[in-house]
Each structure stands twice: as structure tokens, then as C-alpha cells.
Amino acid sequence: MYKILMHGCCGAMGHAICRMCRDNEDFTVVAGVDKITECEEYSFPIFASPDECDVDFDVIIDFSNKSAVDAVTKFAMAKGKPIVCCTTALSDETVALLKEASEVIPVFKSANMSVGINVMVELVRQATKALYKDSDIEIIEAHHHRKLDAPSGTAIMIADAAKSAIDEDVEYVYDRHSVNEARKHNQIGISSIRGGNIVGEHEIMFIGDEETVSISHSAKTRDVFARGSLTAAAFVADAKPGMYDMSNVIAKAFED
């Protein structure tokens, strides 16, 4: 059984992961870290900061805030424990710290923990190779009205996948309302929608003169991200130091 330290345990995703662990014999949450240190739903201790944690654990799952990631990463390095970082909109400095940490501990970082969305990303790479020459690429993402960052980290991940399959400079365009000019072919448009309680929807469109090809993913509940996070935790708990993402988990599915 893997013992989890849940960083951000009182957030929406923290609650989803903790609930899933209660029904899973392979995982148990032994402690949490959150600015909220009291929650009747939990039987495990909650600490205000990682450094206060005195409970033994196997792996950290981080679903917190970008301002809290540096502290938990340094804590993971000090303890020599693996970390699954699910927090998005990280600064360049935090990304650099995670890379530094990966030299001494296993670090799993992904903008989206859904296995399905990561399969979509691989499909996007393959589709771009075949369709980009004669198509314009547009990405649309939709999330609940509480989401702070736009575009989503997942939309950028999809755009990066398409860009990696293009042999020329590519420009990301987030806003066209003030641009009075025709669309350039080497642009990838990224549009954001915020409203209601949308968990997460992403679509990439390859738009040609005669046809349009779309690849899309829709998350119905947050459990899909919780399940992916636990899959990542099991993977990284037994891994060597290094930087990993969901592509390492799904790689076998795409082997010839």
C-alpha cells in the first residue's frame, strides 16, 4: 500500500483524491497539508506547512496553488521522497526548481492528470504531422468560472504537442479582437471559455478548405484527475530520480 501525503488536501481535487483513497486498498492518505488545518471529513492530521509534517509517507501528491509548490518541492528534496506535481500556471523559477529536484528524487509533473487527455495529446502530434500543411489549427478550452488561469495548462500542453510536430516557427494567438489582419498559417489560436461548473473540455480543430478534423476530450467529474494522480503516484513511488509525466505511463499503449 502506498502512503500518500496530500498537499492541498482541502481543495476540490484534494477532497476527490482523499475520497478515492478511502475506497482503494492500494492507497491511503496518512497526512495532509493545507492552510485549512481542520476538516471533519478527514481522520488524518493536517499540517499548515510541509515542514511541520512528522508522519512517514511514501509519496507526495500536490494539488495546491502555484505559490505553495516551491516549499513542498524543497521539502520533498529534504526528505528524499517522490512528488507528483499537479499544480498548473507555475513560474519559470518553480519549473527550474522541479527540474533541479528531479536530479535527486523522482518528480512527476503534468498539466493534466487524465490518462485520456494524455492519449489525446499523442493523437494531436500524429494528426498535426498529417494535417498541418493544409489546415489551420485552433484550440478551444472551457472550464468552471472559478478557474483563475487562462488559457488552461492543458490547452498549452495540446498546443505544444502540435507545435512539436511542425517544422517551422509557430505563434500562439490568444486574442484576435484587436488584430485587423488575415490569419497567418503558422498560428495556433487558443480560446478560453469560463462558466458554470464545467470540469474541463478541450478541443483542437484542424480546419482545411474542404474538411475539418476535430479531436476533443471532456472530463465529466474530477475523479478522472484523481484517478490519474494515483496512477502517477504508484508509478513515481518506485521510479529512479528523474522528471516524468503521463507520457511515460501511456507509452506502452503507443509502442509498435
- Alpha carbon distance 149, 208 (integer Å): 30
- Alpha carbon distance 86, 256 (integer Å): 30
- 81, 143, 202, 217: which one is catalytic? 143
Active site residue 177: no
- 3, 66, 79, 147: which one is catalytic? 147
What's the number of CA atoms in the CB half-sphere (13 Å) around residue 136?
13
Beta bridge partners of 2: 27
Q: Give yes or no for a contact between 144 and 194, defined as CB atoms under 8 angstroms apart.
A: yes
- Alpha carbon distance 244, 241 (integer Å): 9
Q: Give yes or no for a contact between 226 and 114, defined as CB atoms under 8 angstroms apart.
A: no
Residue 195, C-beta contacts closer than 8 angstroms, at least 6 positions apart: 142, 144, 145
Active site residue 144: no
| Residues annotated as part of the active site | 143, 147
